Each structure stands twice: as structure tokens, then as C-alpha cells.
Amino acid sequence: MTVISRIQNASVPTGFQDTTPSPVPSPSGQKRRYGDFATFTDALDYAAQGTAGFNIYSGRGILLEALPYATLREQAREMALRLLALGLKPGDRVGLIAESDGDFARIFFGCQYAGLVATPMPLPVAFGGREAYLATIRGMIETSDASAVIIPDLIAGWTDDITAGFNLKFGGSPAQLMEYPAPARPLPKIKPDALSYLQFSSGSTRFPKGICVTQRSGMANAHSIAHDGLQVRETGDRCVSWLPLYHDMGLVGFFLTPMTCQLTVDLLPTREFARRPHVWLDLISRNRGTISYSPSFGYELCARRSGSADIDLSCWRVAGIGGDMIRPHILEEFGERFASVGFDARAFVASYGMAEATLAISFSPLGQGIRTDTVDLRHLETEGVALPSNDPSHSLRTFVLCGRVLPGHDIQVRSAKGKVLDDRRVGTIYVRGPSLMSGYFRLPTESAEALSSTGWLDTGDLGYMVDGQIVVTGRAKDLIIINGRNIWPQDLEWCAETEIDTLRSRDVAVFSIEEDDHEKVVALVQCRATTPEARAALSEQVTGLFRRLHGVDVRVVLVPPHSLPQTSSGKLTRAKAKTMLLSGAFNAPAETASAA
């Protein structure tokens, strides 16, 4: 059970709307502009002239608040006055624990109009417990040197623990913030090179890094996403999202970008998605949504759980995948499951991005569905070459092509010595362009390590090029090197989760540790079996599978369900899992098994 499920749900949004709302319509009634603005405030000023906006839904798909951009602009400017009246000054950071609601929108854009730096922070959805969550949030507050922290009613009982010891001008709920006056005063002129917000990378835990996104870089990425990646249409498009607003894919992809091109967005709460994933599909069907994204696991949840058959997904033209390594077999299952209700697998759009690039780096071509590249795994592991193969007698690995780099940006795959590699040679991915961060907040050494003087960002990802498209093979820091072989942990994790019926997605974490001067591969496996015999059988099954299909001896450690750590965006974090193992978190005899 996650922390959030033990907290009483907030029933209604704070604020401005007391009657039953009517949803904001899809048409904006104005000429479409594709993020060609200098700042987010300029973009909202224009969007406010039309009729598009945000619709805020409950986890059951009930409309809680309709927020046209015209209303949002008015309320955000009032919020800007209120924030400045607290004594905050342009450039100060405002921590904003992000519920997917109108309050987040009002305060985020209030920060934009006030020249403050919004700093979205996660809800405790993906954390292992209260103390782990509090440590993470307090680390973010300290790193950003926040002057105010807004805490939703959902976790209002934790406010004192979150804010204790910090010299804040405000620490409390949106409702409490609304009690402060908003005296009239001139709002500052927002400049393109000013910081818009700090984005904490999804893996941030004890030592979080705040990614600096300026108005200029944010707008550059929003323009590229809307105009080139999604190719937003003049009429007819509408977005639907359950993605967290504290993560770049939700914040930029389905909060900022739609506003900059005057699209209406239907927002569902992230915290309830796993319990009711089909509400996402129901809302797409009901409101005729055309653009929506998810990591692979979101599609997997929908494909594996029964839901309403009375839906029509023929409207969905961009079914995007991002946020983690893409698992093609999951998308195949989803496509087969929902073909009967109009879903067209050609709507799948693979993409590649990261918060250090604001969000998007590349998009695969629209209307083609997923394109894969199957290669000989042995050549990949021993030579670093992605050699095409369909020989069933060989060990194979299938990767997804993630498209061409966005216009105005450059991408390269380099060797360890910095040489640009030919197609199908695996190396580190570097990108350059107007969407990149200006650096990590107040971390000059880390910024210089990531960003070169010529503007190239070391993504930390490994991959290769094929016919101008990028293929991502994994994170460099996760790579396991055994006897001259480069082993990707995803290969072992996905193999176990696919071949063993009792295992589900994100049930396995694989990494290496130093043991007796040798590198040893460890697999943490979430086990639901309760008898010693069943546990021993699972351990032997995983061990035998890795030996037979991958030629790797692995120490298997069985751990309780829901115990493997995730990032704030729901991705498995192998580094934290490794730390937990080495610190003794999984040493209880009832939870551990070894079958090396």
C-alpha cells in the first residue's frame, strides 16, 4: 500500500467555483499559435482571449472544476499580487507540492506573473513511507532555498514536519494562502532569460538537483513539441492526462505546452490512476481526446485490468510513450486488447526526452506506430554494435526507434573518448539546442560536468543511431560489465517479468555489487508467495531463466510486494534498491533467498 492511499482524499478543489461546472470546450475560437511566444505569461495572455482551458476531474472521472484560460489568467495575476505581498521578490523560489488541480495552475502561473521561480515537488505516491517522503521533500526545499512552500490539503497534516526549521515567508495550504490580501501593484516585466521554474530530476532523493528552465528554453521546447512533434492541428485536438505535474512529461507535455498552443486539457489525479486506470480511457472516449501520453506501465495496467467495453478510442491519434525504456510487447498487448473499440496501433508515438532538455528531444513519425530494431544481443554486449538479426538460434534484443531530433536541435552518439560514432555503434548520447537547461541550480561543478562550453549536454544515456533516428539502450550508470560483456539490467528484468507468470511489471530490479573483489549480479524480486516451497521455487525459476537465456549467474533476493523503490514519476530506481540491499533493508530471513 502506498503512502497516499492511507491519506484521506480531498473532496473538492479550493477556490473559485461553487456550482456544478460545465466542461471547457475543445475549440479555442482563435487562430492557433504554436508556442511562438517570448514567455509563458505572454502565451497565457494570448490563450486567455479564447475559450480553451483546463478541466479538473476526480479519479472517478467526475468534473470538479472547469478553468478556462481567461479565468486562469485573471486568478493567476491576483495570485501573483498575493505572493508578492508576502514579501517574496522576483527570483525567489516557491515550492509547490503538486496536486493535479486548479490550485496548482493558479499558483504556478501566479509565480510566472510575479517573476517567482515555481518549484514543483512530488506528492507521496511513489515513496516507501512517510519518513522517506519527508526526507525527499525537505531535501528539495533546502536545495532550492525556497522562500515559500504550498502544501495541498491532501497532506496538510504533515505541514509542520515539512516546514520545520526553514525560514519561510509562507508554509501552508492553498486555502490559507488565499486568506492573504492581494493589494494592487504593478507586476514585474517578465524577461525571456529569467528562470521560469526548477524541475527536480525524477531520480532525485537524498541529494536532489534542481534543473533550471528559463522562459526562453521552456517556450522553445513547447513550440517544438506542438509544431513538430505532435503536429497540433488547427482544430479538433484535445489533450487528456493523468501524468504528475511535478514531472517533466506531465508539467511540460500536458500543462504548459497545451496552453502555449491554446489546447484544452482534461486532467486526472495521478494518485488515483493505478486504482482506476480505465477512467483515463473512458475520459478520452467521452471527451474525444486526441493526444495523450503514458509510460509503458500505464498501457500495461489498462491492458491487464477489465474496464468498460462501452468506449470508443478511434479519436486517439497520438498515443505517446515516454518517461522510461519502452517495452514493445506491452504496447502490442494494449493494441490487441483495444482494437475492437477503435484503437489504431498506428497512433503509438515513441519519443525520447529528459528534464535537462526541458522535456522532448525526439519524436518518431506520426501515424506509423512503433518501429523496432531487433539485434544480436551477444554482439551488442561484447562489441557494442547493434547488428540486425532475426535468427531464433541467437540471443536477441528488440529496441524501439525514438525518432529524429527536434528541428533546431542536434544529437550525437559518442565513444568514451568523445569520437562521434557511426550508425549502430553504441555510445553516450549528447544533445544540443535551445531547449536545454541553463544548468543545475547553484551546482556549478555538476552543471559543468553535464553541459560543455559549446552547449552539448551529456545525457547519461546510451544508444545508437539508425537512419537518422535515435535508439536508446539504457542508462550508462546502470550498465553491468561482467567478463567483458555489457549487460543491460532491463534485459534481465523484462525477461523475468515476461517469462514468469507470477511476476508483474516493475517486480524485478537488477544491478551489480562488489563481492570478494568480483562484480556480482543481484536480482531483487518482489514475491507474493507465502510458503517456503513456493518462494524457493520462484528463486530457482529466476536463477535458471537467467542462466539459460542470458548465460549469467545471479544472486536472487526475494523481497516483499511494493518494496522496490520508485522515482517520483513511477520509474524503478536501481541505485536506491542497491543502497537498500547494502544497508540491510532486505536481510530478514523471511524475505531473502539466494540461488546463485
The runs of H, that is alpha helices, within 317-416 are 328-338, 377-383
Q: Is residue 319 part of a domain?
A: no
pLDDT at position 207: 66
Q: For residues 175 and 158, what is the distance between their CA atoms, to the nearest angstrom?
A: 16
Question: What confidence tens digit (pLDDT) does each residue in 12-21 have?
Answer: 455 555 567 8
pLDDT at position 128: 59
CATH number assigned to the domain comprising residue 11: 3.40.50.12780
CATH number assigned to the domain comprising residue 540: 3.30.300.30
Q: Is residue 281 part of a domain?
A: no
Q: For residues 489 and 452, what is the distance between their CA atoms, to the nearest angstrom?
A: 29
**Residue 294, φ and ψ in degrees, nearest 5:** -165, 150
Q: Which residues of the chain have pLDDT under 50?
A: 1-12, 204-205, 589-596
One-letter amino acid at 171 equals G
Cβ(242)–Cβ(58) below 8 Å: no
Domain boundary among the residues 201, 233, 260 is at 260
Q: Is residue 501 part of a domain?
A: yes
Q: Is residue 63 part of a domain?
A: no
- Global pTM reads 0.88
Q: Is residue 468 part of a domain?
A: no
pLDDT at position 130: 87
User: What range defines the domain where residue 567 resides?
Assistant: 479-591
CB contact set of 355 (below 8 Å; sequence gap of 6+): 199, 200, 201, 202, 211, 247, 248, 437
pLDDT at position 578: 86
Question: What confidence tens digit (pLDDT) does each residue in 292-334 have?
Answer: 999 998 999 999 886 767 999 999 999 999 877 898 989 999 9
Q: Is residue 446 part of a domain?
A: no
| Closest by CA position to 530, among listed 572, 495, 502, 498 | 502
Q: For residues 318 and 331, what is the distance between their CA atoms, to the nearest angstrom?
A: 13
Domains in the chain, number: 2
Q: Is residue 393 part of a domain?
A: no
pLDDT at position 596: 33
Q: Is residue 398 part of a domain?
A: no
